[in-house]
Structure 1
Amino acid sequence: MTGREQKGALSRHELLEEHRPERIHARLGREPKSQRVSDFVLGAIDGCVTTFAIVAGAFGAGFSESVVLVMGFANLIADGFSMAVSNYEAVSVEREQAAAATRIEREHIALVPEGEREEIRQIFHRKGFRGQVLDEIVTTITANRQLWIETMLAEEYGISRTKRKPLGSALVTFFAFIGMGTVPLLPYLLSPLNSSQQFYSSVILAALTFFAIGLCKGLVFSQKVWMAGFKTLVFGGGAAALAFAVGFFLRDLIA
């Protein structure tokens, strides 16, 4: 057996272990974990784009190093806080919508149970269930009030069981924004370089940061990691190129 075949056999063995009945029972019985990856990617990409856009725009406009640092860090803190607050509010709205939908479904089940049973019936009829099997599904679900409500939330409202915490999401977004957003400013802080050297060093660091964020996203979501890295690099680089172009074409107006 080749090394590649051994790797494949091991992977299949691990999958079989994970799909033993007791493992499946334990896994499905746990509460879904809140995913922080989207919060991190959101903050990291926007942080790097924000500060590198300032670097690119300032270089295109011919601004000095001190202007880059002042504008860069001022926007880094202000925009990072703004994005964290926005994400906090967005997650809070999601939770409020879920709570409101839960109240509505609980009230409807109490007032018009037959109508709610018919909704369950039609939901699973659309999934292809018929006859006695469909009747048993409806009976089983509607016999458990919590299961009934959760099924309606998922099927009618598209609300996930995953519970995101507003404060946690906001903090992840903020620190990712600050951490990744500082990277393009490092050449202006740590290196005794001239203006062009500082800018091109910032370009390299920003490109590596965009690519690394994409790689991490690809690994977490089992995507093609190089393609994910390249895609994030293109999107981030495109935003920075626009900022450079604006600064370059407007520099004569502010000279």
Structure 2
Amino acid sequence: MALEASPPLLRPQHEENGGGVGREGFWSEDSVKSAIDAGLDAIVTSFSLISSISATRLASVDVLVLGFANLVARGISMGFGDFVSTSTENEMAKKERATTEQDVSKSISSQQAGLLSTYQALGLDLEDATTVVNVFSKYQDILVDEKMTAQKGVLPPRQTEKPWKSGLISFAAFILFGNVPLLSFVVLIPFTGDDSTKFFGACLLSALALALLGLARAKISGQYLHSVAATLFNGGIAATCAYLIGWMLRNAAGLHDQTKGH
């Protein structure tokens, strides 16, 4: 009876082509991670650029033009990079799975012996390891996946992980969150012409967005305080370095005189 109860427990891993909801829907865990990572990168990149431009005392229009241009270019690059990375990972996993499947088909007994040794090395006693291997051996697909994971350290290919989806999510998240720091230079136009005030507003918006994404990341990791603090620290360090570099270029590399000429 125990053996018959095992297949239903494993079945969700092999029913990924059926649309699915939750983890296997459009917003799977991998999709959420891609969106969060792209959003964090976008905010830090955009705010760092604003910091370096503000340090050189360039006008708000320079911030907007350079900021939007940088976001689009980086967003396309990130989206395409995510697409290529996911495609390559899936192709490598499929190739490795085909090779492993051939190995299992040719010599299932040696594959069982290899898994048995692997499980014993992980701490299972001989009886338990033998039971696990015997159960997996009844289902060749599961045996192949298990050999890939346990012996080769390669995850089986995920049919629901579409490369175009990963690239699209990364691009959209980068553009969306990257615009948050720039909002201050747009929203405050009717109220003030002071670039310092707009920069301060960008600081607040960036900190808020980073904190929210830190909370979103914590929903996965479970470490709320650490996740928010680490996210804000990362953004703060990057922005500070960008500001200092811009300030040094302006005052030590001759850009000070150029900005005055404008």
- Residue aligning to 2:19: none
- Partners of 2:51 and 2:127 lie apart in 1 by 66
> Could you list the per-position Cα deviations for residues 20-63 of structure 1 after superposition, in whole angstroms to 9, with x for gaps in the alignment?
xxxx9877532463422210111101111111111100011111
1:219 aligns to what SS in structure 2?
helix
2:120 aligns to what SS in structure 1?
helix
- How much identity, in percent, do the aligned residues show? 25
- Partners of 2:92 and 2:49 lie apart in 1 by 37
Are 1:127 and 2:122 matched, yes or no?
yes
Aligned length: 231
- Residue aligning to 2:183: 186
Contact 2:40 2:213 in 1 (8 A): yes
Correspondence for 2:12 among 30, 42, 55: 30
| Aligned-residue offset at 1:176 | 1.1
CA RMSD of aligned residues (A): 2.1
- Aligned ranges for residues 75-90 of structure 1 at < 5 Å? 75-90=70-85
Task: Give the direction of change, closer, same or farther, for the CA distance of 1:143–1:219 in structure 2 (3 Å limit).
Answer: closer
- Partners of 1:139 and 1:45 lie apart in 2 by 46
- Partners of 1:45 and 1:141 lie apart in 2 by 41
| Aligned-residue offset at 1:73 | 0.2
> Could you list the per-position Cα deviations for residues 57-98 of structure 1 after superposition, in whole angstroms to 9, with x for gaps in the alignment?
001111111111111000001101100111111111221121
- Partners of 2:38 and 2:85 lie apart in 1 by 14
- Residue aligning to 2:172: 175
Task: Give the direction of change, closer, same or farther, for the CA distance of 1:195–1:218 in structure 2 (3 Å limit).
Answer: same
Q: Counterpart of 1:114 in structure 2: which amino acid?
A: S
Task: Give the direction of change, closer, same or farther, for the CA distance of 1:219–1:144 in structure 2 (3 Å limit).
Answer: closer
- Partners of 2:9 and 2:34 lie apart in 1 by 24
- Partners of 2:220 and 2:137 lie apart in 1 by 37
TM-score (norm 1): 0.83
Task: Give the direction of change, closer, same or farther, for the CA distance of 1:133–1:203 in structure 2 (3 Å limit).
Answer: closer
Are 1:208 and 2:203 matched, yes or no?
no
- Partners of 1:89 and 1:81 lie apart in 2 by 12
Task: Give the direction of change, closer, same or farther, for the CA distance of 1:27–1:109 in structure 2 (3 Å limit).
Answer: closer
Q: Counterpart of 1:100 in structure 2: which amino acid?
A: K
Q: Counterpart of 2:86 in structure 1: which amino acid?
A: V
Contact 2:97 2:156 in 1 (8 A): no
- Aligned ranges for residues 110-149 of structure 1 at < 5 Å? 110-149=105-144
- Partners of 1:180 and 1:95 lie apart in 2 by 28
* Range moving further from structure 2, 63-72 or 120-129: 120-129
> Could you list the per-position Cα deviations for residues 167-219 of structure 1 after superposition, in whole angstroms to 9, with x for gaps in the alignment?
11111111111111001111111212211101111011111111111011112
* Range moving further from structure 2, 98-107 or 113-122: 113-122
> Could you list the per-position Cα deviations for residues 106-125 of structure 1 after superposition, in whole angstroms to 9, with x for gaps in the alignment?
11123333332221111111
Task: Give the direction of change, closer, same or farther, for the CA distance of 1:215–1:78 in structure 2 (3 Å limit).
Answer: same
- Residue aligning to 1:250: 249
- Partners of 1:81 and 1:112 lie apart in 2 by 47
- Partners of 1:115 and 1:161 lie apart in 2 by 21
Structure 1, unaligned stretches of length 5 or more? 1-23
Task: Give the direction of change, closer, same or farther, for the CA distance of 1:184–1:152 in structure 2 (3 Å limit).
Answer: same
* Range moving further from structure 2, 150-159 or 123-132: 123-132
